[in-house]
Structure 1
Amino acid sequence: MLRRLIAFLKTAWLAEQHFHTRWLIVGLFAVIFVLDFSTPPPYALGFLYTKPILLASSRLSRSATVKVTVIATGLTLLNVFIPKAEWHNFATVVNRLLMALALVVTGWLSERNLRHEEAIARHKAQLQAQEQLASTREDFVSTLTHDLKTPLLGAIETLNSLQQEKYGAVTAAQQKVFSTIARSHENSLGLIETLLDVYRNDTEGVRLKMAPVKLVDLAEEAIATVSGLASKRRVDVSLSFGESNARSLWVNGDALQLLRVFTNLLTNAINNCPRGGKVEIVFESDSNYQVVKILDNGRGITPDELPRLFERFYQGHSDRQFVGSGLGLYLTRQIIEAHDGTVWGKNRFSSQDTTQRSQRGASFGFRLPVHQRSSQP
Structure 2
Amino acid sequence: MKILRNFLKINKFLVVQEKYLRGRWSLAQPSKRIAILFAIVIALEFSTPSQYLFGYLYTGPILLANSRLSRLGKLQVTLVAVVLTLLNLFVPPGETIALATVANRSIAVMALGVTGYLSDRNQQYQEAIAIAKAQLQSQQQLASIREDFVSTLSHDLKTPMLGAIETIKAFQGANFGEVTPSQQKVLETMARSHKMSLQLVETLLDVYRNDAEGLKLQLAPVNLAALAEEVTATLIDLSAARRVYISMSYGESDFRRSLWVNGDAVQLGRVFVNLLTNAINHSPRGGKVEIVMESSASYQVVKVLDSGLGITSDELPHLFERFYQGNGDRQAKGSGLGLYLSRQIIDAHGGIIWAENKLPLGALFGFRLPAISANET
Do the structures match in fold with TM over 0.5? yes
**Partner Cα distance (2:254, 2:232) in 1:** 20
Instruction: State which of 314, 333, 338 in structure 1 corresponds to 2:325.
Output: 314
- Hey, what does 1:241 align to over in structure 2? 250
Total equivalences in the alignment: 349
Residue correspondence of structure 1 range 104-119 to structure 2 within 5 A: 104-119=113-128
Residues 153-204 of structure 1, C-alpha deviations (whole Å, 9 max, x = no match): 2211222223233344444443332222121111122223333434555566
> Counterpart of 1:43 in 2: which secondary structure?
coil
| Aligned position for 2:346 | 336
Shift of the 68–317 alpha-carbon distance from structure 1 to 2, 3 Å rule, reads closer
1:127 corresponding residue in structure 2: 136
Task: Return the offset for 1:363.
Answer: 3.8
**Deviations 1:233-253, CA, capped at 9 Å, x for gaps:** 455544433424247511233
CA gap of 1:218–1:66, structure 2 versus 1, over 3 A, is same
CA displacement at 1:344 relative to structure 2: 3.5
| 1:103 Cα offset (Å) | 1.5
Q: Is 1:66–2:75 an aligned residue pair?
A: yes
Q: Supply the AA of the counterpart residue of 1:163.
A: Q
Aligned partners of 2:149 and 2:355: how far apart in 1?
32
Give the whole-Å Cα distance in 1 for the aligned partners of 2:217 and 2:335: 24
Which of 227, 244, 248 is residue 218 of structure 1 equivalent to?
227
- Mapped partners of 1:229, 1:28: distance in 2: 83
* 1:285 pairs with 2:285: no
In structure 2, the partner of 1:32 is 41
The DSSP-based 3-state class of the residue aligned with 1:88 is coil
1:299-347: CA deviation from partner (whole Å, max 9, x where unpaired): 45265577265454325544x6544444333433343244333334445
How large is the Cα RMSD of the aligned pairs?
Answer: 3.1
1:270 aligns with 2:271: no
Matched, 1:144 2:153: yes
The secondary structure found in structure 2 opposite 1:110 is helix
For the 8 Å contact 2:270–2:342, the answer to whether it is kept is yes
Which residue in the other structure is 2:367 paired with?
A: 366
Q: Which residue of 2 aligns with 1:190?
A: 199
- Decide whether aligned partners of structure 1 residues 302 and 118 sit closer, same or farther in structure 2, where only a CA change above 3 A counts: closer
Matched, 1:81 2:90: yes
Give yes or no for contact 2:310–2:361 (8 Å, CA) kept in 1. Answer: no
CA contact (8 A) 1:248 1:375 kept: no
- Unmatched 5+ stretches in structure 1: 1-16, 350-358
**Alpha-carbon distance in structure 2 between the residues aligned to 1:273 and 1:63:** 66
For the structure 1 residues 77 and 255, does the alpha-carbon distance in structure 2 shift closer, same or farther, using more than 3 Å as the test?
Answer: same
For each residue in 1:94-142, what CA deviation from the matched residue of structure 2 results, as whole angstroms up to 9, or x when unmatched?
2222212211221111111111111111121222122222222222322
Q: What's the offset of the Cα at 1:231?
A: 4.0
Distance in 2 (CA, whole Å) between partners of 1:107 and 1:360 is: 66
Counterpart amino acid of residue 313 in structure 1: Y
Task: Report if aligned partners of 1:87, 1:93 keep a CA contact under 8 Å in 2.
Answer: no
Q: Is the 8 A contact 1:244 1:283 kept in 2?
A: no
Q: Which whole-Å CA distance do the structure 1 matches of 2:115 and 2:284 have between them? A: 77
Identity of aligned residues (%): 57
3-state SS of the aligned residue for 2:49?
A: coil
The aligned residue for residue 7 of structure 2 is none
Name the structure 1 match of 2:59: 50
Q: CA deviation at 1:278?
A: 4.8
- Give the C-alpha shift of residue 51 in structure 1: 1.0
Q: Which runs of 4+ in 1 moved over 6 A?
A: none
1:235/1:278 contact within 8 Å kept: yes
Counterpart of 2:103 in 1: which secondary structure? helix
Q: Aligned partners of 1:305, 1:55: CA distance in 2, in Å?
A: 54
Please give the alpha-carbon distance, in whole angstroms, between the structure 1 residues aligned to 2:36 and 2:69: 16
Please report how far the alpha carbon of residue 151 of structure 1 lies from its aligned counterpart in structure 2 after TM superposition: 2.2
The one-letter amino acid paired with 1:59 is R
Note if contact 2:325-2:333 (Cα within 8 Å) is conserved in structure 1. no
Pick one of 153, 164, 169 that aligns with 1:155: 164
Q: Which amino acid aligns with 1:263?
A: V
